[in-house]
Amino acid sequence: MIAKRVWFKEKVDGERVSITDKLELSFHTVKYKICSFKNIDNDGVSEPFVLGKDVNKFMPNYLFIDYQKHQLTGDFTFNHDR
């Protein structure tokens, strides 16, 4: 199961790309011991997951960020055919 999520956090460990002076972007893959959207969306415990040579297949090619109802929202797309 692949679950696409965009989270907005105050601090992120690891490599980041600066978008503006107030926004940085980080991409990483994780896996969950319990495979359920309810678990993932409610702060389930994740562990790093290395995609290896397939990482480019899942690297986002478009990121959409919006500010609605006093909170940031986001989504992304990626091309399965890469």
pTM above 0.95, yes or no: no
Both structure tokens of 34: 């319990």
pLDDT of residue 1: 55
pLDDT of residue 70: 92
Which ranges of the chain have pLDDT less than 70?
1-3, 80-82
Asked if residue 66 lies in contact with residue 8, where contact means CB atoms within 8 angstroms, the answer is: no
pLDDT of residue 80: 65
Closest CA to 34 of 48, 45, 21, 50: 45
Asked if residue 25 lies in contact with residue 17, where contact means CB atoms within 8 angstroms, the answer is: yes
